[in-house]
Structure 1
Amino acid sequence: MIESMKMWTINRPDEEIVQLFMKELSIPSIHAKILVSRGITDVEQAKSFLHMDTSSLHDPYLLYDMEKAVNRIMQAIDSNELITVYGDYDADGVTSVTVLTTALEQLGANVNFVIPNRFEHGYGPNVELFKTLNEAGTSLIITVDNGISGLEAADYAKSVGMDIIVTDHHEIGAELPNADAIIHPRHPSGNYPFGELAGVGVAFKLACALLGEIPDELYEIAAIGTVADLVPLQDENRFIVKEGIRRMRKSKRPVFQALSKVSGTEQSSLTEESLGFMIGPRLNAPGRLGSANPAVHLLKSDDPMEAMSIAEQLDALNKERQALVTNIANEAEQAMADMYGDMLPFVIVIAGVGWNPGVVGIVASRLTEKYYRPSIVLSIDLESGVAKGSGRSIAGFDLFKELSKNADLLPHFGGHEMAAGMSLSVEDVVKLRSRLNDQGKLQLTDEMLTPRLQIDVPLEIGEIDVDVLEGLELLRPFGMSFEKPVFLIENLSASSVRKIGAAKNHLKLDLSDGVNNLDVIGFGNGHIADEISPGVTLSITGDLQVNEWNGRKKPQMLLADLQSKERQLFDLRGIREPNRWMPAVPKKNNLFIAFQEQSVVHFSSMLKDVTVQKFGDVELSETDHVVILDMPVGTDQLKQLISQTNPKRIYAHFFVPESMYFEGMPSREDFGWYYSFLKKRGSFDLRNQIQELSKHRGWKIDIIYFMTKVFSELEFVKIENGLAFVMESAGKKNLSEAPSYQERELRIELEKKLVYASYMELKSWFDEVCKETVNREEQLWI
């Protein structure tokens, strides 16, 4: 068996609806399965989803306070008041600033922007920054992607005569800020049709209202922030991203050309993944390390040279951020090893002095992904005595709820079920660690601590071709609430299994369903090659892509996981040196078994760190892996071994010091000649004359001894003091009546079956044995 790395949950779409979609929408089966698996079950609903246009955008004036906000902003423009757009330091924040300032500039506004520094000001409206804005002459502040929780700063603004308009999308607290207008898609007094806009989506709606039309040139910017903020790609979010990417691919704006170049991405092939993994992180980088302003300057730049210069600066900052994350992650791993050893806690809480608080959330994500445990990573500031950090969670452990139980230790915390931020006294870190671990012990079961893989698009290879995969563009973008499909293909055999790459750390599979073939690449999964035995039936999951090489395109799967339910047989026969095959044998849950005492001695001397057990001397129990070192006396011993150990994998070595198979059984003519020879001689001195007879007849000495033993057991001869005497009174008997003859016959047959059979013949025999074992076990339960 090959166990999957994650626990698979397979959801199979309704085949009737799939067939209906294929017919009514003229789409391939893969497209239909994805739609159905995402909960789209009506043909008209599917048509609307596939063919979106500007009618997908709602009237911006449906947002509560939109008219009030537009009137106040227009008044400020007419009066040439200084308007400050107050943003946030992440990708959603900087794109929000860009969208709104661009719209205001088009209207002739006197506008600037301010983004708080993560380290100096923290998140959201900051009173000190508001004071600075007031002193600089700002009379109207418009927040973007923040502000809904900025009660104190809003009060300050009003107290000094500044007006404030809040545009935000974050969770609304029990009290709203004292603002002149609050534009929020989930405003408690509003009734907007779609509540899941990103911060930049709200800014985009305000820009639409101000301009009196949809600003086509801002779709691309809005798309970046929407993807980066991981909001659901439904409704107008979906259209904004789809339209934004379409325009971005052919845009002449310097920002997209520059970001594509520094990230090594083809602008004409940009996707939501490019935005999420290549462009978004570079826009996030400056705000994680210092001032986020350069990201806005890049997004607004019309100068190709300036844009490239800033893009290179952001790329360097992103590399710096990556190095920081790697260093902190390594230190966190070491801290985990020192603190927890081999025993993982239910909730990981790791703290380090001087860790950059701007990246600890990424480190927490890495720990959670690797260990599948809720993880909190804290940065300790010894001067202030404060630990600040971020946490990430897993399904079943509501991080915000569990942190709320420790509010006495956490003067500041916030977030949601899967992620949270917090600060606390350094002195309370140990208490928080202990409490959360106890809470995790009560909440988390072994099943909940097993990572899961949701599979929703089962396929057959015959459904896959290049045109179909390229046609998936119709369904993009994939993201939150319309997740990228995880494909499953079952019951495949591998015609080729290889390790590839300079370090042989990648896996290359050529798989077949008996008719069609598919190439599979598993990056970083080279070790799996040692786990796949010939002929085993595999099920695989992953992402389908088009691989182009030398102008030729073909489908290819990028492996996410694989498994096999079959018991596997690994052929170690003929590899005499154990050091050549030992690396392929798993280190845990294994049994090394020998049937002969001399084999126990032989292998114990060669396998220094392994305990070799002798069959019959050890009580057999279930284990994952059994290594059969030598030949059994008979197949019943093997059947008993397999039945009682019930292994997932069998490693067959079947070492034979001297083979009887190739020597064979002496012919009846050989026995006849030898018996006549003994009768003529009357007696034969085995000790002194056997060498001469061996040369004369060309028989091996072992064969002469064997035939003599057979005659002795049949009482044809008697052996005394090394002399063989013919028994005159011997009656007629069949050679096969002799135990030695039977034993040799059995041994030759056993060697033929176990040692010299082809792999597939041996596997077939083991499969039958395993089937008999299962059948016997089932009968016991009937």
Structure 2
Amino acid sequence: MIKSNKNWKVHRPDESAVEKLMTELNLPSLHAKILASRGFQDPSAVKAFLKTDAAVLHDPFLLYDMDKAVAIIRKAVENHEHIVVYGDYDADGVTSVSVLTTALERIGADVSFIIPNRFEHGYGPNSELFQEISDLGASLIITVDNGVSGIEQTAFAKSIGLDIIITDHHEIGDSLPQADAVIHPRHPEGNYPFGELAGVGVAFKLATALLGDAPLDLLEFAAIGTVADLVPLLDENRFFVKEGIRRLRMSSRPGIQALAKIGGTEQRQFTEETLGFMVGPRLNAPGRLGDADPAVELLKAEDSAVATGIANELDRLNKERQALVNGITEEALTMIEEQYGSTIPHVFVLAKEGWNPGVIGIVASRLTERFHRPSIVLAIDPAAETAKGSARSIEGFDLYQELSKNKELLPHFGGHAMAAGMTLALSDVEALRDRLNEQAIQVLTDEQLIATVQIDVPLTIDEIEVDVLESLEQLRPFGMAFPKPMYMIEQITVGSIRKIGAAKNHLKLELEDGASKLDAISFGSGELADEMTHGMSLMVTGDLQVNEWNNFKKPQILLQDIRSDERQVFDLRGIRDPLRWIHTIPKDNALYIAFQPQTKAHFLPILQGSDIVLYDERQADPAIEHIVLLDMPEQQEQLESLLSEYNPGRIYAHFYAPDSRYFDGIPDRKEFGWYFSFLKKRGTFDLDKQAEQLAKHKGWKLDTIYFMSKVFFDLGFVKIENGVVIIEPTAGKRDLAEAPAYKERKRQIEMEERMLYAPYQELKQWFQKVHQEIAVKEETVWT
């Protein structure tokens, strides 16, 4: 039996809707199922959705205050006033800065940008920075991806004579800042048709209004920020990302090319996943650890050498960020274990001095993913007696709303339903923890506290073809509100099963459904091979991909979860340390069998208290239900006899083989011939002194030279005295296969191939065959 890691919620698309889309639009069943699952059942609506182009763009002047903002900016440009674009330090923020500064430069503006430092200034508008901007002679500030919560800071900017335009997309509080213009897709007095723009989307709309036409080349930036900020990929956002990715794939921007190279990604193969998992993290990295300016400088770089240098630095910072995240995550897990033990609270609120505020949002994400609980991770500043951090949530617990209920504890917070940031007094951390847990108890059901996987595209293997998967491009991009499909394949059987990877910690399967077959990979699930057998029935979920190797393409599924109700034989062959599997062996009615005395001697001190019996000393015992095969038999018949005598309910195959020869193999006749000619020319050869040098010269293993020397000795071709091989000039011709050393090596390799290195399903099939023969014999006796 294989239990799934999560609860499966299967939502099957309406079959009639799927059939209608397939018939009227000539779509593959896979495409039709995805669209129907996403609520697209009308063919005309599907046509409009698939035809995403610039026509979907709304008039930017539909945004409240857009006309006012454009007038203020144009006046500033005409008067040669200095304009500062005030950004944010994440990927959405730096792409927003890149879009708007580029647009302002195109209309001749005197423009620069400032991005607050996460550690010095915090998130959003900062009065000290506004003062610096004023002191530098600027007269107009335009915020991007921030500002809507900066009521006091905006008032300060106005008090010192600055004009300020706010462009933002974050949640609006009880009131808006008194700026000269506030451009927000969900402005309470506006009626913009689409309210889910990212910060870069709002910046793009302002750029469009300023330029008169949509600057489509800047969609390269807009796509990155839109994907990174996890906004719904519908309406304008879908066009931003789809067209942006198309342009990114052929972009001549040095920064984009440098990012692709440093990320080891083919630029022409960019997808939304590339932006989310390769580009976005590197643009985020500098802002998480310090100054975010290099991210903007990379995007806007015009020189390849400059871009390459910045990209290398961003990659270094990203690796540093990853190390910080891993370290803090381990500390957080230790803290959870110490504070909560086996009892998991409804909400985690963890705080510690020394944690880097720039990366704790990622740590919160990891905790939420692992425990399926809302998580708040805070970095303590002992000098200021404050705690600053980030939060991530689960469905059913709206972070922004729940945090809003605690405003008196949170002088600074912002975000949305699934993620938020905050700063609070250190003395209020415990109160916030208690309150949020009480609130979570009220709003979260037991079912919501269990991680689930939403499955909405059930398939059969014969629906999965390379051209069909490649044509999914027309449905991309996948993301928020149009999620990446979660595929499920039912009633399939397992063909081949392999552990792969240097550590054998990954699982590779061949799934079968009649004549149809599909490769499957599950990373980090190598141990499941020990619970599988050829022909067993499975249900799997995962992501479909096209695997290309040697110019040959095959579909495969990247598994996320597996279910099966069948019981298996246990394969312990890949686990060298018995202490890693001894606890899995039932204590009662288990017999450990060793075929070699040295095996018993090896395991006795390790398996203390366990009954280890040599094959030749075994005695019949009907109580034995489980047999552990510690090593391999010399002959297959020995194993057949053992299983026939005991007929165990469980078999654990370990097959300890300290001197395995399988991967060494047997040298071919050319290698034997060359070595023999070499010996004849020299007459003598000192193995102890010269074999290693010869092995390096020929690219052989040292053991290969000793083995061939032993074969020649067995056949009388040479003598070996004190490690020196001496040619026998009068030796006659004999077949290599006659040598005892050759026969023993061949027998050992064949046995290892059959037992030690056989795919699991082949070994299991052999066990099943023996059991079936035993059952037939017993039935014959009784009848």
Q: TM-score range by the shorter chain?
A: 0.7 to 0.9
8 A contact 1:569–1:763 mirrored in 2: no
Q: Secondary structure at the match of 2:395?
A: coil
Aligned match of 2:243? 243
Aligned match of 1:108? 108
**Structure 2 counterpart of 1:464, one-letter code:** I
Q: Secondary structure at the match of 2:376?
A: strand
Aligned match of 1:147? 147
Please give the residue correspondences for 1:134-213 in structure 2 after superposition, counting only pairs within 5 Å.
134-213=134-213
Aligned match of 2:310? 310
Deviation at 1:409, TM superposition (A): 3.8
| Partner Cα distance (1:162, 1:353) in 2 | 38
Deviation at 1:550, TM superposition (A): 1.4
Listed one character per residue, the Cα deviations across residues 563-622 of structure 1 (whole Å, up to 9, x for unaligned) are 01x2414379xx99x9999966885xx9655499xxxxxxx99976899xxxxxxxxxxx
8 A contact 2:530–2:570 mirrored in 1: no
Aligned match of 1:279? 279
Match 1:759 to one of 751, 768, 771: 768
8 A contact 2:497–2:533 mirrored in 1: no
Deviation at 1:120, TM superposition (A): 1.2
**Structure 2 counterpart of 1:225, one-letter code:** G
| Partner Cα distance (2:89, 2:155) in 1 | 23
| Partner Cα distance (2:300, 2:215) in 1 | 15
8 A contact 2:590–2:626 mirrored in 1: no
8 A contact 1:545–1:557 mirrored in 2: yes
**Structure 1 counterpart of 2:305, one-letter code:** M
Listed one character per residue, the Cα deviations across residues 82-116 of structure 1 (whole Å, up to 9, x for unaligned) are 11111111111111111111111111111111111
Aligned match of 1:516? 516
Distance 1:430 1:185, change over 3 A: closer
Please give the residue correspondences for 1:41-440 in structure 2 after superposition, counting only pairs within 5 Å.
41-440=41-440
Distance 1:73 1:507, change over 3 A: same
Aligned match of 2:36? 36
| Partner Cα distance (2:533, 2:579) in 1 | 15
8 A contact 2:171–2:416 mirrored in 1: no
**Structure 2 counterpart of 1:368, one-letter code:** T
Q: Secondary structure at the match of 1:494?
A: strand
| Partner Cα distance (2:59, 2:334) in 1 | 54
Aligned match of 2:599? none
Deviation at 1:418, TM superposition (A): 2.3
Aligned match of 2:547? 547
8 A contact 2:506–2:523 mirrored in 1: yes
Q: Secondary structure at the match of 1:369?
A: helix
8 A contact 1:595–1:632 mirrored in 2: no
- Confirm or deny that 1:467 pairs with 2:467: yes
| Partner Cα distance (1:44, 1:72) in 2 | 42
- Pairwise CA RMSD of aligned residues? 3.4
8 A contact 2:170–2:416 mirrored in 1: no
| Partner Cα distance (1:450, 1:373) in 2 | 9
Q: Secondary structure at the match of 2:394?
A: coil
Deviation at 1:131, TM superposition (A): 1.1
Aligned match of 1:568? 567
Distance 1:630 1:430, change over 3 A: farther
Please give the residue correspondences for 1:626-641 in structure 2 after superposition, counting only pairs within 5 Å.
none
Please give the residue correspondences for 1:440-459 in structure 2 after superposition, counting only pairs within 5 Å.
440=440, 444-459=444-459
Deviation at 1:528, TM superposition (A): 1.2
**Structure 2 counterpart of 1:279, one-letter code:** V
| Partner Cα distance (2:403, 2:192) in 1 | 32
Listed one character per residue, the Cα deviations across residues 638-659 of structure 1 (whole Å, up to 9, x for unaligned) are 9xxxxxxxxxxx9787999998
Aligned match of 2:760? none
Q: Secondary structure at the match of 2:483?
A: coil
| Partner Cα distance (1:108, 1:580) in 2 | 70
Distance 1:302 1:608, change over 3 A: same
Q: Secondary structure at the match of 1:44?
A: helix
| Partner Cα distance (1:580, 1:315) in 2 | 38
| Partner Cα distance (1:527, 1:58) in 2 | 53
Q: Secondary structure at the match of 1:143?
A: strand
| Partner Cα distance (1:435, 1:240) in 2 | 40
| Partner Cα distance (2:114, 2:302) in 1 | 21
Q: Secondary structure at the match of 2:193?
A: coil
Listed one character per residue, the Cα deviations across residues 366-394 of structure 1 (whole Å, up to 9, x for unaligned) are 11111222222111112222111112122
| Partner Cα distance (1:171, 1:609) in 2 | 65
Aligned length: 633
Listed one character per residue, the Cα deviations across residues 208-229 of structure 1 (whole Å, up to 9, x for unaligned) are 1111111122111111111111
Matched residues, percent identical? 59
Please give the residue correspondences for 1:648-663 in structure 2 after superposition, counting only pairs within 5 Å.
none
8 A contact 2:494–2:533 mirrored in 1: no
Distance 1:226 1:66, change over 3 A: same
Deviation at 1:420, TM superposition (A): 2.4
8 A contact 1:571–1:759 mirrored in 2: no
- What is the TM-score with the length of structure 1 in the denominator? 0.75
Distance 1:499 1:206, change over 3 A: same
Distance 1:170 1:441, change over 3 A: closer
Deviation at 1:259, TM superposition (A): 0.6
- What is the TM-score with the length of structure 2 in the denominator? 0.75
**Structure 2 counterpart of 1:280, one-letter code:** G
Deviation at 1:35, TM superposition (A): 0.8
8 A contact 1:530–1:584 mirrored in 2: no
Listed one character per residue, the Cα deviations across residues 218-246 of structure 1 (whole Å, up to 9, x for unaligned) are 11111111111111000011001111110
| Partner Cα distance (2:607, 2:640) in 1 | 17
Distance 1:184 1:609, change over 3 A: farther
| Partner Cα distance (2:444, 2:581) in 1 | 34
| Partner Cα distance (2:533, 2:10) in 1 | 25
Q: Is there any run of 5+ residues in structure 1 with no aligned partner, and where?
A: 597-603, 612-628, 639-649, 664-754, 767-782
**Structure 1 counterpart of 2:768, one-letter code:** Y
* Comparing 415-424 and 197-206, the one that deviates more: 415-424
Please give the residue correspondences for 1:609-648 in structure 2 after superposition, counting only pairs within 5 Å.
none
Aligned match of 1:774? none
Deviation at 1:400, TM superposition (A): 3.7
Deviation at 1:188, TM superposition (A): 1.1
Deviation at 1:438, TM superposition (A): 4.9
| Partner Cα distance (1:396, 1:456) in 2 | 20
8 A contact 1:570–1:652 mirrored in 2: no
Distance 1:485 1:585, change over 3 A: farther
Listed one character per residue, the Cα deviations across residues 676-729 of structure 1 (whole Å, up to 9, x for unaligned) are xxxxxxxxxxxxxxxxxxxxxxxxxxxxxxxxxxxxxxxxxxxxxxxxxxxxxx
8 A contact 2:360–2:377 mirrored in 1: yes
8 A contact 1:288–1:359 mirrored in 2: yes
Distance 1:182 1:654, change over 3 A: closer
Aligned match of 2:727? none
| Partner Cα distance (2:559, 2:160) in 1 | 60
**Structure 1 counterpart of 2:210, one-letter code:** L
Aligned match of 2:502? 502
**Structure 1 counterpart of 2:177, one-letter code:** P
Deviation at 1:193, TM superposition (A): 0.7
Please give the residue correspondences for 1:620-769 in structure 2 after superposition, counting only pairs within 5 Å.
759=768
| Partner Cα distance (1:660, 1:189) in 2 | 81
| Partner Cα distance (1:586, 1:50) in 2 | 55
Distance 1:579 1:217, change over 3 A: closer
Q: Which has the larger radius of gyration?
A: 1
8 A contact 1:374–1:397 mirrored in 2: yes
Distance 1:349 1:547, change over 3 A: same
8 A contact 2:4–2:561 mirrored in 1: yes
| Partner Cα distance (2:610, 2:209) in 1 | 75
**Structure 2 counterpart of 1:93, one-letter code:** G
8 A contact 1:631–1:654 mirrored in 2: no
**Structure 1 counterpart of 2:182, one-letter code:** I
Q: Secondary structure at the match of 1:21?
A: helix
| Partner Cα distance (2:210, 2:515) in 1 | 60
**Structure 2 counterpart of 1:759, one-letter code:** Q
| Partner Cα distance (2:620, 2:241) in 1 | 64
